[in-house]
Amino acid sequence: MLLAIEPHIRSMIAGGAPVAIGVSGGKDSQAAALSVFEHLDRAGHTGPRILVHADLGTVEWRASLPVCQELADYLGSELVVLRRRRGDLMDRWESRWQSSVTRYQDLSTVTLVPCWSTPSMRFCTSEMKTHPIEAMLKRRFPGRTIINVTGVRRAESRRRARLPIADRSSDGRIRTWRPILDWSEDDVFACIARHGLEPHPAYRQFGMSRVSCRFCIMSSLPDLIAATRQDEAHAIYRDLVSLEIRSSFAFQGARWLGDIAPHLLGRRDRERLATAKARAGRRVELERRITPAMLYTRGWPTRMLTDSEADLLATVRREVTDLFGFRSHCLDRETIHARYAGLLDEKARRDEHRPSPSR
């Protein structure tokens, strides 16, 4: 099983560049760490090596961190564990919903914003993993260019199929290397077995195809069902469904997590979930009446509304406010015009004081 590698990575290894390998507890990062350490040993790499685990908190499987630690012990490597100071991923989803409510009430957004990560907006990965890991590596190895290894494979998705073997950060400090990009799933499991290690129990004991969070916004339906069969996942399942109910946004777009295992919910929550679905349908119906020109771009209105547009927005906002029991402002033509005018003035002032791009 050959590693995917490019000349610049070879040169950095020969020069003793620091190598950091991100590990989640899943099979791909496990195999990437094992195979890269073998390659570094054969290449005579003399630089520092570390494993890095971004712990997402209550959404993580109980075995994930122990699997990472076992891997680090086997390789004789330090395991650096990073945790978000302002709470875990569940806290981030909760705070995102609270922010969406506040912004809607103040007309800082025209439509309600979903609380969940999405395949196209994976802030759970960028905020909780990528950015913290890169910041830590730059602090730990000041002034050095670092190889950051990730265990992604082309076979996982169409997006990953297009990824290059390596690329670099905007400041050139970090070179991301994807050594098992062309491996199959069988290659991955064979690598782990060859080293006498066991993969995460979620694969063979729980019957899941991938390991990330207990319930992931990217999970397949079979994986979601398999997760609900594990006792350790029941508490976070109820927490996630509770946020679905309060926000009226399904966990996976049109797929409600509450429908996966309703037997794990009490009668009251099943009733509340049905109400939330009806509320979601009505919200979508109302917000469809808002035209693209009435929306904000990057958080700002692009122009003043006409009187008819302001009347339409006022009607929609009043109904959505009643649906959710919000305490919203700007519920009539005059206050909506005033809010748009204030935001446009504020944006103009900010643009006026923003430094011009250097030529």
Q: Which sign does the torsion angle of CA 291, 297, 300, 301 carry? A: negative
Q: Is residue 357 part of a domain?
A: no
Task: Give residue-wise pLDDT tens across range 146-189.
Answer: 999 999 999 888 888 899 999 998 888 999 999 999 999 999 99
pLDDT of residue 128: 82
More confident residue, 105 or 161: 105
Whether 252 shows a pLDDT value over 90: the answer reads yes
Task: Give residue-wise pLDDT tens across range 304-345.
Answer: 999 999 999 999 999 999 999 999 999 999 999 999 999 999
Domain-ending residue, one of 176, 204, 232: 204
Q: What percent of the chain has pLDDT over 70?
A: 99
* CA 351 to the chain's CA centroid: 31
Q: Is residue 101 part of a domain?
A: no
Confidence at 359, pLDDT banded by 50, 70, 90: very low
pLDDT of residue 357: 55
Task: Give residue-wise pLDDT tens across range 198-251.
Answer: 999 999 999 999 998 999 999 999 999 999 999 999 999 999 999 999 999 999
pLDDT of residue 122: 82
Q: Is residue 104 part of a domain?
A: no
Q: What is the CATH number of the domain that holds 11?
A: 3.40.50.620
Q: Are residues 136 and 159 part of one domain?
A: yes
Q: Is residue 152 part of a domain?
A: yes
Q: Are residues 174 and 316 part of one domain?
A: no
Q: Is residue 212 part of a domain?
A: no
Q: Are residues 148 and 67 part of one domain?
A: yes
Q: Are residues 129 and 184 part of one domain?
A: yes
Q: Are residues 279 and 147 part of one domain?
A: no
Confidence at 44, pLDDT banded by 50, 70, 90: very high
Tell me if 182 sits within 8 A of 4, measured CB to CB.
Answer: yes
Q: Is residue 52 part of a domain?
A: yes
Q: Are residues 168 and 19 part of one domain?
A: yes
Q: Is residue 110 part of a domain?
A: no
Q: Are residues 346 and 198 part of one domain?
A: no
Distances in Å between the alpha carbon of 133 and those of 23, 80, 100, 173, 184? 11, 10, 27, 13, 27
Q: Are residues 70 and 196 part of one domain?
A: yes
Domain-ending residue, one of 138, 171, 204: 204
pLDDT of residue 86: 87
Q: Are residues 265 and 138 part of one domain?
A: no
Q: Is residue 263 part of a domain?
A: yes
Task: Give residue-wise pLDDT tens across range 266-303.
Answer: 999 999 999 999 999 999 999 999 999 999 999 999 99
Whether 72 shows a pLDDT value over 60: the answer reads yes
Q: Are residues 302 and 242 part of one domain?
A: no
| Number of residues assigned to the chain | 359
Domain-ending residue, one of 171, 204, 237: 204
Q: Are residues 150 and 60 part of one domain?
A: yes
Tell me if 208 sits within 8 A of 228, measured CB to CB.
Answer: no
Q: What percent of the chain has pLDDT over 90?
A: 87
pLDDT of residue 134: 92
User: Collapsing DSSP states into helix, strand and coil, what is residue 33?
Assistant: helix
Q: Are residues 139 and 19 part of one domain?
A: yes
| Cβ within 8 Å of residue 165, ≥6 positions away | 4, 5, 6, 9, 177, 178, 179, 181
Q: What is the domain range of residue 304?
A: 292-351
Q: Which two tokens stand for residue 264?
A: 């794990």
Q: What does the mean pLDDT of the chain come to?
A: 95
- Per the structure, the count of domains in the chain is 3
